[in-house]
Amino acid sequence: MNYILICDDVIDNCILLQLFLEIQGYTVEFVTSGIEAINKIRLKKPDLLLLDVMMPDISGFEVVKVIREDKCLQNLPILLVTAYKELFEPQLTNTQVNGVIYKPVDPDVLFERVNEVL
């Protein structure tokens, strides 16, 4: 069974994504900050990270950078989750992620992207 870690500073977003994915049979945990995500990933590497872009402590882009610089984690699949399509389009082209899911999250799109990556 695949283990997915969700990182979003809005707990309601985490719970919604967790429910969607657990219904599909995934094991899911969530954290509410980029720092927590990095620490959790180093303790227990997930099969996939769903990562919000806009967070108060460090942005999702900064989290990706830290992960990609770590030899043990650099191949971790990451899907960014964001509501800001236009704002981040230039940054997305330079970010080493496996895809983007836009908010509000459509469950069908979520399942499709997750299945593609896993």
Share of the chain above pLDDT 90, in %: 81
pLDDT at 118: 94
Handedness of CA 21, 19, 96, 101 (dihedral sign): positive
Query: What is the pTM (predicted TM-score) of this model?
Result: 0.93
List pLDDT tens digits, range 24-40.
999 999 999 999 999 99
Go through the domains of the chain in sequence order and give each one's CATH number: 3-117 (3.40.50.2300)
List pLDDT tens digits, range 35-78.
999 999 999 999 999 999 999 889 998 999 999 999 999 999 99
Given a cut of 90, whether residue 4 has pLDDT beyond it is: yes
